[in-house]
Chain A
Amino acid sequence: MPGLISALYLQAGAINAFEQAIAVTSTNVSNASTPGYASQTQTLVAMPEDIGLGAMGGVEIGPVVSSRDQYAEQAVRNQQTALGGSTQNVNSLTNLQSLFDVTGTGGISTALSALYQSFSAWGQTPDDGTAQQAVLTAAGNLATAFQQTASGLTSAAATANQQLQQTVSQVNTLTGQLQQLNTLAMAGEGNNAGLDAQINSTLETLSQYVPISAAGQPGGSYTVLLNGQTPLVIGNQQYPLSFDLYQPDGATNQNAPPLAQVKAADGTDITGGIGGGQLGALLNFRNAVLPSYIGDGSQAGSLNAMAQQFADTVNGILTSGNISDASADGAIPAVPGVPLFTYDTTNSTNVAASLSVSSTITPSQLAAIDPGPPEVSNGIPLALAQLENPQSAADETNGESYTEAFGDMASQAGNLLNQATEDQQVAQSALTQAQNFRQQQSGVDLDQQAVTLVEYQRAYEANAEMLTVLNQLMQDTINILEPGTT
């Protein structure tokens, strides 16, 4: 009889163990499409069998083991961060590029070209009121184009501020959720596969916004650090970020547009340490890309610098000329020219936005006479028209014409966008790659991995060598390409 009872006991234990295993498998199947879920395995433990000692053998259930690998998870999160950053760059730069029309149908380049043409036409008939009026109209159009571009850039900065505020709020919402999930884990739910899935799914979403590192703790909670340094969540404690605008200490222009700043929960400025993700890309756009055009506390910005230099050059040429000659007997002196453009001289970052044609100038006040010697009756309009194709450094800005300088500004925006688009495509592929690695890694035998990794090493070396040769060949090929005729 004891033998029969033992057998029944063993059978019952085995059935219980396999029921548990089936339950774990069933959970795996039902969560197959749950974001962040990693399959679980029910381990079975063989019990010792020694009749003499009363050990009856059989099978008992061991711990449930997750196939989740934190290294693979972190690799996916890193690629999510890269993709989040490049996607944000594409969005921001697409908007920026639209402000720089180089198609010749509008914007600063078209207005600049029209002004040069009006100078040339005025040079043909320097006393013609219609030609003079055309110069004032074209100058007004150019000023408006500068104002509109500056306004577009200011509006882009305001949008970026709003997006930064929303992104910081989103980060805080996600870290708040992680804090609550950690609290559940610490309350004894640490082995709950569903909870673990929720935590990892939230971590992956968070990594699109900011670069994070997440370390699993005993008990199932996670410590989340921003860029490996700033705490966001530790145990059941959340460390929220904050956003504001500020003027840096070293700013020489206190009236300049402020910069964006992100602070850690303890008030430390962590703006420079964020680096990647949607938040990092937004900060770079707001604090580096936009100021390069519209300035900040320590620079005027290329658009303002160009507007100021162009206005000063045109005004300088006009005021060096005369509206009318002195009388032959010298009783009536020559009437000197007056400036065409005005702008806010108190704030170097407000030049483009405030550029306008002087409200007091009339067509007949445009000075055409270059007093020389020798005096040239249409010398001033000719000198102004010459700005289109400068013959001297005085007529250039940074060694090139104003048209070329604006083209550079526009192409800088275009190049940044092209680069960002390329980065986005690569980041999308790299994310797919990392997700595939994570998939491959699940439940792999370590000994098998050790063998495979040596094969990987050799394969990477061979491919890297091949790619280097290909890249060199490609560069040589590009160098031999000749300009086409079609």
Chain B
Amino acid sequence: MALEAASGIEAVSGLAAVRVEVEGACQSLLSASPEALARCEGALQRAVEALRRGRTGWNWKSSSKAVRAEAAHLEAAILRAGRLLSSASRYHAGWLRILSGMTGGYSPRGEAASMPGVRRISLEG
């Protein structure tokens, strides 16, 4: 019984830690600069790994009310991250279309021309 309770605490704190990562990703998405998006990817990656580990490592038997409440909070945070990611993506996709039209004109069918390829050189060493 005591072991189960301890496992429950571990699951709650584990889920809370995953939620903190997802909320960090949400915070990054508020500004959504390329640097912030890279940070967001890192946070989501850590959240995935932690949840993957927790699914086999934590004891889910007789999940307490606290575990289910924390799971619901995490689910809401993931939903919020998804909505923010999709609105930011939509915004930049629209901006890309505008820039494409401004730089490359429009096709006879009224579609914005595709953006000219950007070639970048990276030197190391």
Contacts and interface: CB of A to CB of B under 8 A. Distances in A.
Interface of A: 71, 75, 79, 422, 425-426, 429-430, 432-434, 436-437, 440-441, 446, 449-457, 459-460, 462-464, 466-467, 469-471, 473-474, 476-478, 480-486
20 contacts: A71-B95, A75-B91, A79-B87, A426-B84, A437-B91, A450-B115, A451-B118, A457-B92, A457-B96, A460-B88, A463-B37, A467-B82, A469-B48, A473-B48, A473-B52, A477-B60, A477-B71, A480-B55, A482-B61, A485-B62
B30 interface: yes
B51 A467 contact: no
Main secondary structure of the interface of A (DSSP, over half): helix
Nearest to B65: A484
Interface string B53-87: 01100001111111110010011101111111101
Given A466-B44, A469-B48, 19 more contacts: A422-B80, A426-B79, A426-B84, A429-B80, A433-B30, A436-B32, A437-B88, A441-B95, A446-B102, A453-B99, A456-B34, A457-B96, A460-B85, A467-B78, A473-B52, A477-B54, A478-B75, A481-B71, A485-B62
Interface size range on B against A = 35 or more
B103 interface: yes
A266 to B, nearest CB: 29
Interface in B1-48: 8, 22, 25-26, 29-34, 37-38, 40-41, 44-45, 47-48
A464 B47 CA distance: 14
A459 B37 contact: yes
B34 A459 contact: yes
A433 B61 contact: no
Contact of B34 (A79, A455, A471): A455
Interface in B95-119: 95-96, 98-99, 102-103, 115-116, 118
A470 B34 contact: no
Rank and list the top 10 A-B pairs by shortest CB-CB distance, nearest first: A459-B37, A466-B44, A455-B34, A484-B64, A460-B89, A481-B63, A456-B92, A453-B96, A426-B83, A473-B51
Nearest to B63: A481
A75 B68 CA distance: 36
Chain B interface SS verdict (over half): helix
B68 A484 contact: yes
B84 A433 contact: yes
A451 B47 CA distance: 30
Given A446-B102, A452-B34, A481 B68 contact: yes
A456 to B, nearest CB: 5
B76 to A, nearest CB: 6
Contacts of B81: 467
B30 A436 contact: yes
A456 B22 contact: no
A430 B71 contact: no
A470 B75 contact: no
A218 B39 CA distance: 42
B59 to A, nearest CB: 10
B40 A425 contact: no
A484 to B, nearest CB: 4
Contacts of B87: 79, 430, 433-434
B79 to A, nearest CB: 7
B74 A474 contact: yes
Contact of B99 (A432, A446, A463): A446
Contacts of B38: 459
A222 B4 CA distance: 65
A71 B60 contact: no
A435 to B, nearest CB: 9
Nearest to A78: B87
A146 B75 CA distance: 37
Nearest to A425: B80
A339 B80 CA distance: 54
Contacts of B48: 466, 469-470, 473
